[in-house]
Amino acid sequence: MPVTTLDPRTALVAVDLQNGVMALSGSPHSTGDVLTRTVRLAETFRARGLPVVLVRVTAAADGSDAAPGRTDLRRSSGAPSAAASPAGWDEITGDLAGHPGDIVVTKRNWSAFYGTDLDLHLRRRGVTQIVLTGVATSIGVESTARAAHEHGYHVTLVTDAMTDRDPEAHRHSVEKIFPRLGETGTTSDVLGLLTATTS
């Protein structure tokens, strides 16, 4: 179901579009396609004076700031590790970086809200709705969407501007989880609403 509306103070929140993540493969959309679509959205948000938030994930090289707790799975194959990653792996990718008005939020967990100042940045700017893009759909994006919903924001999820390492995980998030947290739509849907509401 396409997105129905955008609030006057809506922010774009792009999750983990950084050098190390962009080097990974994605499905059903390539990480390159996700980046291209997010760049289009970011340019349009900026042109209309709406906030753009770039979220990056990082970790201490020794793993000391990793979330505690036992899990059945170790770090997923191909995921960036601070100790083993090249310099700059956790920097926002060049196509999105370098815009002085953008907000950069650094996280150390899946959600862009937990342990960060994202909520403070949004509330100070009067934001009531967020539009989410990023990688990976079932991890960083879904965790951020859940937290945004719990914080009382209207949530819009741009399903062709996100991807996952596992296409089935992406499908599950898009079809089963996201409809309970907000509205889903395509890049074109959101761009169309931005044009309609700010022209």
Between CA 179 and CA 155 the distance in angstroms is 10
Q: Which residue has the tokens 């924001």?
A: 153
Domain ranges of the chain: 10-59+86-198
**pLDDT score of 79:** 46
Q: What are the pLDDT digits (tens) for 71-129?
A: 887 654 444 445 566 788 899 999 999 999 999 999 999 999 999 999 999 999 999 99
Pairing between strand 52-57 and 10-15? parallel
Q: Cβ(142)–Cβ(173) under 8 Å?
A: yes
Question: Residues of the chain whose pLDDT is less than 70?
Answer: 1, 62, 74-85, 198-199
Q: Cβ(90)–Cβ(58) under 8 Å?
A: yes
Between CA 166 and CA 183 the distance in angstroms is 22
Q: Cβ(167)–Cβ(131) under 8 Å?
A: no
**pLDDT score of 10:** 98
Q: Cβ(91)–Cβ(18) under 8 Å?
A: yes
Write down the architecture of domain 10-59+86-198 according to CATH.
3-Layer(aba) Sandwich (3.40)
Closest to 14 (Cα-Cα) out of 187, 169, 155, 162: 162
For 87, what's the count of Cα atoms within 13 Å in the CB-facing half-sphere? 0
In three-state form (DSSP H/G/I as H, E/B as E, the rest C), the secondary structure along 151-175 is CCCEEEEEEEEEEECCHHHHHHHHH
Strand partners, 154: 129
